[in-house]
Structure 1
Amino acid sequence: MDQRISFITLAVHDLDATRAFYVGALGWSPEVDVPGEVLMIKVGDRLVLSLWDEAAFEAEVGAIRRGPGVVPLTLAHNVATPAEVDQVLATARDAGADPVQSAVQRDWGGYTGYFADPDGYRWEIAYNPGPIGQDVLP
């Protein structure tokens, strides 16, 4: 098996609100948009973010675990400078995202903050000055 990820699929409660956030407010372009079912957005050279209506997700994958707390998953968007971290976080806030945590200087040398999309999925916006952080930049 090749060492790679092709799709990241997230179950979403309200696909219309999700579309309004990612496509309408953030300006991302869908590759596939099936109302009431799925929204697919190419987010990398060979990577797709698939945002799937909860009912359709559960019908194929199985019951979703529900309860208090945060889903134990984050998505990260790395940028080239700390100023870009602040800019992206401001754009997300302006789009209606829950700000979660303002950007701060981290002990490991990076600068990161978080926002949550309409379903509460946490996005880390990060400046990582190390080699792995630089490798993921376009």
Structure 2
Amino acid sequence: MLQLRLTLVTLGVEDVARSTAFYEALGLVRSPASTESASFFDVGGVVLSIYARAALARDAELDPEGEGFRGQSLAWNLGSEAEVDKAIVRMVAAGAGLVKAAERTVWGGYAGYVTDPDGHLWEVACNPGFPLGQTGRLRSSA
């Protein structure tokens, strides 16, 4: 049986160069496999792909129209509340929009939300239920 593994997340964006610059401002390094129409970043064993929204929709044979909440979020988990605050400040300085300032959560963590330049929702969190390992990857306590 094949084991499901998340290997790549593609964000459909309006301006590949603008979004590439945003993620580079956060310290990500663009892969040599990147092209003018797509950027790839290693984000700890998963690849973040930046691709034109209309082209991505065409590839999936879907209508590219529609905005608003997209029914998903990406998450950046960190080891402390102070790191969460610092990361949110860094993202906003790079061009993110602040959606919700970080605060203590009902699930015992600390989290806030920002959007990248194309409105992709990012949760920035410290979650005691998912501690970080030595490599910065999540470890499920369950």
TM exceeds 0.5?
Answer: yes
Task: Give the letter for the 1:19 counterpart.
Answer: T
Q: How does 1:110-129 map to 2 (within 5 A)?
A: 110-129=109-128
Which runs of 5 or more residues in structure 2 are unaligned? 138-142
Question: Which structure shows the higher strand fraction?
Answer: 1
Cα distance, 1:103 vs structure 2: 0.1
How many Å separate the matches in 1 of 2:94 and 2:11?
20
Percent identical among aligned pairs is 36
Aligned to 1:28: 28
Runs (4+) of structure 1 exceeding 4 A deviation are none
Aligned to 2:11: 10
Cα distance, 1:115 vs structure 2: 0.7
- String of CA shifts for 1:39-81, please: whole Å, max 9, x gaps: 1111122x10111112331332222453342111100000000
Q: Aligned in 2, Cα 1:71/1:114: closer, same or farther, shift over 3 Å?
A: same
Task: Give the letter for the 2:17 counterpart.
Answer: D
Aligned to 1:134: 131
Contact 2:54 2:64 (8 Å CA) reproduced? no
Q: How does 1:1-138 map to 2 (within 5 A)?
A: 1-23=2-24, 25-31=25-31, 32-35=33-36, 37-45=37-45, 47-130=46-129, 133-135=130-132, 137-138=136-137
**What TM-score results when the alignment is normalised by the length of structure 1?**
0.88
Q: Secondary structure at the match of 1:20?
A: helix
Task: Give the letter for the 1:43 counterpart.
Answer: V
| Bigger shift: residues 109-118 or 55-64 | 55-64
Contact 2:96 2:114 (8 Å CA) reproduced? yes
How many Å separate the matches in 2 of 1:64 and 1:102?
33
Which runs of 5 or more residues in structure 1 are unaligned? none
Contact 2:14 2:118 (8 Å CA) reproduced? yes
How many Å separate the matches in 1 of 2:62 and 2:6?
23
How many Å separate the matches in 1 of 2:132 and 2:4?
16
Q: Aligned in 2, Cα 1:60/1:67: closer, same or farther, shift over 3 Å?
A: closer
How many Å separate the matches in 2 of 1:42 and 1:68?
27
Task: Give the letter for the 1:15 counterpart.
Answer: V
